[in-house]
Homo-oligomer: A and B are copies of this chain.
Amino acid sequence: MPAPLTITEFDTYDLRFPTSQHLDGSDAMNPDPDYSAAYVVLRTNSRDLCGHGMTFTIGRGNELCVEAIISLASLLVDQPLEALMRRPVELYRRITADSQLRWVGPEKGVIHLAAAAVLNAVWDLWARSRGTPLWRLVCEMTPEEFCDCVDFRYLADALTPAQALEILRGQAAGKEARIERLLESGYPSYTTSAGWLGYGDDALRDKCRDLKARGWSHFKIKVGRDLADDLRRCRVLRDEMGGEARMMIDANQVWDVPQAIEWIRALARFEPWFVEEPTHPDDILGHRAIARAIAPLRVATGEMCHNRIMFKQFMEAGAMQVCQLDSCRLGGVNEVMAVLLLAARFGVPVCPHAGGVGLCEYVQHLSMIDYVCVSGSVEGRVAEYSDHLHEHVHDPVVMKDGCYMPPEAPGYGVRFTGAALDGYSHPR
């Protein structure tokens, strides 16, 4: 009998891509991001099999995530994979609830971003060891197995394991048909590639035309730096898009609550499909006040919502009408699964955050899991897409008519190329 597959050691990489040079990714809060990945490769006793995982940052501070990954990944050395994944919730707790490391979170900030990288790597390894893409691995789980991945601690007042099982069992019958549909036409996306704040009107117009020609019908534009500018840029975008396409506006947290309400009312004439991150990401009650004031316009947030306890409250309070969970800010696939269940429980559509680097490769799996296992619908749901930096991973996303096509390669989708590791590793 061969030795069980066991994690033996790991390597970490501080990868930074100099995106600030071209103002890709620029918005009102983040004028000069250098899209970055704190990346870990879990090595095993099987030479050909590694687990690859990352978390996403925008430059400085990436080194902190790498340091934290070293602390957390050390907890996995000498662990056999199947023992770790027998009850995946135990893996989640091992990585997020170390009694001393918990103090520097808990479940937030650098330590939780690092937990995401490590958990994403274990899930990648698990899917690779089964020779299957991650979305399929999860979609083939029974409702009970799905629930065994979720930490229900602190959710009891909003979502019990029994309620989660009920949601999953309710969707079990249609899973095969939905997988067929995905294989045929993919999962719909929207794109921010046109709307960065650093682009001039001509660039905005050109990008919009190009994307429309390639099949997109949802366009997001960054706002919040200057109202007159916003009014002009929204007009340009709306004119180019045509009346049928959907426009979303994204303020990246720049407003106070009263200011948000006033500014959004001024932009309401462009009929945005949702308004993203109007104020500080921790401000549940502030988002609720904004949502009430601007209804029927909807508030979207979540890319900086740091754990399932925050999502629980945002949804329960009616402070989030669109859930933009982040694959690298939540504690890996486990915590994403918890948030998908919460969203189903509260009837909130999930439109995951992506862009950056690696995020598109991750969220395609998550939206497909949501569709097949949890929500059962693509109605009102689009996963974010941005057409940057895909050349740095081995199995980049495949888009067709503005839709993510289901990944076929084993794993979770982010394995950086040797050229990326050689060319973009940040010197210590």
Q: Using a CB–CB distance below 8 Å, which chain A residues touch chain B?
A: 29-34, 57-65, 67-68, 71, 98-113, 153-157, 253, 256-259, 279-286, 289, 304, 306-307, 309-310, 312-313, 316-317
Residues of B within 8 A of A98 (CB): 60
A306: which B residues are within 8 A, CB to CB? 108, 282
| A283 engages B110 (CB within 8 Å) | no
- Docked Cα-Cα span, A61 to B64, in Å, equals 11
Partner of A57, one of B31, B104, B157: B104
Q: Are A61 and B101 in contact (CB under 8 A)?
A: yes
- Return the chain B residue nearest A356 by Cβ: B103
Q: Which of A103, A105, A154, A258 has the most CB of B within 10 A?
A: A103
A64 x B71 contact (CB < 8 A)? yes
When the two chains form their complex, are residues B68 and A317 in contact, meaning their CB atoms are under 8 A apart?
no
Task: Choose among B64, B105, B259, B280 the residue that contacts A309 (Cβ–Cβ < 8 A).
Answer: B280
- State the 10 A-B residue pairs at the shortest beta-carbon distance, nearest first: A109-B109, A110-B110, A59-B100, A61-B104, A156-B256, A157-B257, A60-B100, A154-B280, A61-B101, A58-B103
Residues of B within 8 A of A313 (CB): 282-286
CB of B61 within 8 A of CB of A257, answer no
Name which of A57, A108, A110 has the most chain B CB atoms within 10 A of its CB.
Answer: A110
* B residues in contact with A105, CB < 8 Å: 109
Q: Give the shortest distance, in Å, between A66 (CB) and chain B (any CB).
A: 9
Chain B min CB distance to A370 (Å): 23
Q: Are B29 and A102 in contact (CB under 8 A)?
A: yes
**Could you list some 14 contacts between A and B, CB below 8 A?**
A29-B102, A57-B103, A58-B103, A63-B71, A64-B64, A64-B71, A64-B110, A68-B110, A105-B109, A108-B108, A108-B282, A153-B256, A157-B257, A285-B312
Q: Please, which residue of chain B has its CB at the minimum distance from the CB of A98?
A: B60
Residues in chain B near residue A156, CB distance under 8 A: 256-259
- What are the residues of chain B within 8 A of A109 when measuring CB–CB? 104-105, 108-112
Residues in B with CB closer than 8 Å to A65 are 104
**Seed contacts A32-B100, A108-B108, A284-B284; 15 additional CB < 8 Å A-B pairs:** A30-B99, A33-B99, A33-B103, A61-B68, A106-B253, A109-B111, A110-B111, A154-B256, A154-B283, A154-B286, A156-B256, A157-B258, A280-B309, A284-B285, A285-B316
Q: For residue A63, which residues in chain B have a CB less than 8 angstroms away from its CB? A: 67, 71
Residues on B with C-beta less than 8 A from A100 are: 30, 32-34, 57-61
* Cα separation A153 to B260 with both chains bound (whole Å): 13
Instruction: Give complex CA distance A259, B160 in Å.
Output: 13
Taking A283-B313, A313-B285 as contacts, is the C-beta distance between A64 and B157 under 8 angstroms? no
The CA-CA distance from A107 to B153 in the complex, in Å, is: 25
Min Cβ gap A357→B in Å is 13
Residues of B within 8 A of A154 (CB): 256-257, 279-280, 283, 286
Bound complex: CA A131 to CA B280 (Å): 38
On chain B, the residues within 8 Å of A157 by CB distance are 256-258, 286, 289
Asked if A64 contacts B30 (CB within 8 A), the reply is: no
Closest beta carbon of chain B to A19's beta carbon, Å: 11
With CB as the reference atom, state the residue of chain B lying closest to A20.
B100
Question: How far is the CB of A159 from the nearest CB of chain B, in Å?
Answer: 11
Across the two chains, which residue of chain B brings its CB closest to A306? B108
CA distance A300 to B33 in the complex (A): 39
